[in-house]
Chains A and B, each alone.
Chain A
Amino acid sequence: MTEVNHAKIDSEIAGKRELTGLQSIVQTQPFWVFVAIMVLGIVMTMVSDVFLTERNMFNVTRNFAFFGIMALGMTAVICTAGIDLSVGSLMGLTGIVTGLVMQAGYGIGLGFLACMGTAALVGLVNGVLIAYLRMAPFVVTLGMLAMARSIAMVLSNNKMIYAFGPDQDLFEWIGGESMMGIPNPVWVLAVLTAVFWWVYRYSTWGRWVFAIGGNKQAAKLAGIPVERVIVSVYVVCSLCAGLAAFLMVGWFGSVTNALGLTYELNVIAATVIGGANLMGGVAYALGAPIGAALMELIRNSLLLAGIDALWQQFFVGLFLILAVLLEQIRNRGRT
C-alpha cells in the first residue's frame, strides 16, 4: 500500500501557476495549424519555383479569403454547438439576387442591400426554427440547403447573369481587384477577422455565444436570452455567406445558380481545422482564416505537385477528419 500524501498534492495544486499569454496561445489549435502552414510553405518553396511567386501568392490568398469570410460566421454557429449546412446554397441564392437586382439597372448599393437582406432573411428562418421550435440544426439547414438552391434556380430561370447595370465596373473592382497589392476580399477578411476577434473577447454577445456552447441550460438560468442569441448566430453566419457571394460574383464577373455548390463542406472543414469544436463552446476568430488558408494551401500544393485536381475533395475531407481526431486526442489528454 502506498501512502497518499494529501498535503503534498494540495500544495502542488495550489502552486500550479496560471498560464501566461504565450503558453495559452501555444495550447490552441489555430497555433499548431499555423505552424503546419509555415512548414508546408517552406517545403513548397524548396520544391516548387512557382510557389512563392507574387502571382501564386496573390491567387492563394484571394481564393481562401472567400472561405475565410464564410468560416468566420460559421465559428459563431459551431460555438453554440450548431451547424449551418445551407451556406453554399445561400451563396447561390444571394449571388443570383444580387445579379438580378443589378441587371435590372439598380445601383450597387441596392444590389448589396438585396444581397444582405436575402441572407439575413434565410438566417432568420434557420435561427427561429432552431431556437424557438427546437429543431435540430442539421435538419433545418439541410432543408434550407435544398430550398435556397432551388429558389436560386427558379429566380435565375437557369440562366447565367453577366450584365450588372450601371455599377458593373465598381462591382467587379470590389471583388476582383486589389489595394496595395493585396486582393480586396483579403482586406475584407482581415477586417472581419479583427471584428470577430474583438467581439468574441470583449462583447457580451460573444461571451454569451461561448456560454451557450458550454452549457445552454446554465446560460438560460443565468438570464441570458438564449433563443435570441441562437437566432443571431445563424443570421451572422448567413450574412457572412452573403458577403462572400457578393465579392465572389464581382470577381467572376458573372453568376450562375451553381455558385457555392458544395462550399458548405469546405467552410465547415476550415472552421473545424481552425479549432472550433462541433460539441460547442470552443471557437477561434483567428482559426477561420487559418483553417481556410491551410485548405487552400493544400489545394495549391497538390496543383503545383501535378496531382490530379480530382483528388482535391479527398484531401479536404481527410483534413476535416484529422482535425476532429486531433481535437479528441487533445481532450482525452486533458481529463
Chain B
Amino acid sequence: MPVLSLKGITKTFGAIQALSDVDLTLERGEALGLMGDNGAGKSTLMRIVAGNFPPTAGRIFLEDQAVHFSQPADARRHGIEIVYQDLALCDNLSAAANVFLGRELKRRFGPIRYLDHQAMFDRAAELFAELKSETRPRDLVRQMSGGQRQAVAIARTRLSDPKIVLMDEPTAAISVRQVAEVLDLIRRLKETNHAVILVSHRMPDVFSVCDRVAVLRRGRKVADKPVDKTSPEEVTGLITGAIEAA
C-alpha cells in the first residue's frame, strides 16, 4: 500500500495551468526524485502535498485515506514535513528557536506555561549532531552559512517522526561537502522507513540517492521509472522535451 498517492492533481492559477492531471505514488522507505525544468510545476506539486494550497482538481490519499489540507499545519499533523526551497527561517531568531518554531517546548509552573529554552537547546543540539552539522543551537540564523541554515531547516523535519519528507532543492545553495551530508541524511531517512520526495535540478544527487525518478514537463508527468532503468541522458531529454515521454 503506497504511503502517498496523488490522483489526477490539477492546479490552475487564473489562466495559467501549473499542473494537469498528475498521478504519483510513493512507498515507505522509498526516495523519489522529482525533476523538471523551471516552471515545470515541481514546487507547486510539493506545496499542494504540504498543504500550502489545495489542488483545483484531483485527490490526495495517505495510505488509501483521502485527505484535504487547508493549511500547512494539517499536512504536518498527517506526518508530512517539508523543507522549503527558501528554507523559511527567521533570521533574527536562534537556530533552536527556528527548529521549534510553532511547536515550542513548554514547562508548567502552576497555571503558567513558559518556554523551556534549555530543553529546546538540548534537543536541537542532538538533532544537529545527528545531522553531523556544526550548527550551534544558540547562534542566530542571520550569522550562519548556507549549510548551517540547511541543517536548521532539515532538523525541523526531524522533530516529529514524519511519514513523508518533502525536500525542495535542498542542495541548491550549499557547498560540496554539505551536499554529501544532505544526501547521507536522505539515505538515513530511507533506512528508517521514511518516504522522501527530492525535488532537484542536480542529476548526480537524484541518481545517487533516489530509487525512482519522475519527470514533469509543463505541468504534466512525462516519465516515472526506477533509476536503474533510465539514465541521466534520458532524463535530460525528458526534461527538455527532446524525448517526448518514457
Contact = CB atoms under 8 A, between A and B. Distances in A.
Interface of A: 13-14, 18-19, 201-204, 207, 210-211, 213-215, 217-224, 281-282, 334
Contact of B91 (A14, A202, A215, A221): A215
B89 interface: yes
B104 interface: yes
Interface in B134-191: 134, 136, 138-139, 142, 145
B128 interface: no
A221 B84 contact: yes
A204 B89 contact: no
Contact of A204 (B73, B84, B104): B104
A224 B138 contact: no
A210 B90 contact: yes
B235 to A, nearest CB: 30
Contacts of A217: 88
B92 A18 contact: no
Contacts of B76: 223
Contacts, number: 67
Interface residues of B, number: 26
Contact of B134 (A14, A210, A219): A14
Contacts of A218: 88-90, 101
Nearest to A212: B90
A210 B93 contact: yes
Contacts of A204: 104, 106, 115
Given A211-B93, A221-B88, A203 B115 contact: yes
B12 interface: no
Interface string B73-114: 100100000001000111111000100011110100000001
A137 B73 CA distance: 27
Centre residue among A219, A220, A222 by max chain B CB count within 10 A: A222
Contacts of B90: 210-211, 214-215, 218-219, 281
Given A18-B138, A223-B76, A281-B90, 7 more contacts: A13-B134, A19-B138, A203-B114, A211-B101, A214-B92, A219-B102, A222-B88
A69 to B, nearest CB: 23
Contacts of A281: 90-92
A202 B114 contact: yes
B187 to A, nearest CB: 24
A19 B138 CA distance: 9
B56 interface: no
Contacts of A222: 72, 88, 101-103
Given A211-B101, A214-B92, A202 B73 contact: no
Name A's interface SS.
helix
B185 to A, nearest CB: 20
A201 to B, nearest CB: 8
A207 B115 contact: yes
A207 B97 contact: yes
Contacts of A203: 114-115
A224 B115 contact: no
13 contacts: A18-B139, A19-B138, A202-B115, A203-B114, A203-B115, A204-B115, A210-B92, A215-B88, A219-B101, A222-B72, A222-B88, A281-B91, A282-B92
A217 B145 CA distance: 21
A215 B134 contact: no
A221 B69 CA distance: 13
A325 B84 CA distance: 34
B104 A207 contact: yes
B71 interface: yes
Nearest to A220: B72
Contacts of B97: 207, 211
Contacts of A211: 90, 93, 97, 101
Contacts of A219: 90, 101-102
Contacts of B71: 223
A55 to B, nearest CB: 41
B88 to A, nearest CB: 4
Contacts of A14: 134
Contacts of A207: 93, 97, 101, 104, 115
Contacts of B91: 214-215, 281
A18 B136 contact: yes
A174 to B, nearest CB: 27
B98 to A, nearest CB: 8
Nearest to B141: A214
Contacts of B72: 220-223
A205 to B, nearest CB: 10
A223 B114 contact: no
Nearest to B89: A218
Contacts of B138: 18-19
A224 B92 contact: no
Centre residue among A201, A203, A210, A215 by max chain B CB count within 10 A: A215
A224 B104 contact: no
Contacts of B145: 13
A162 B179 CA distance: 73
A169 to B, nearest CB: 35
A179 B138 CA distance: 41
Nearest to B75: A223
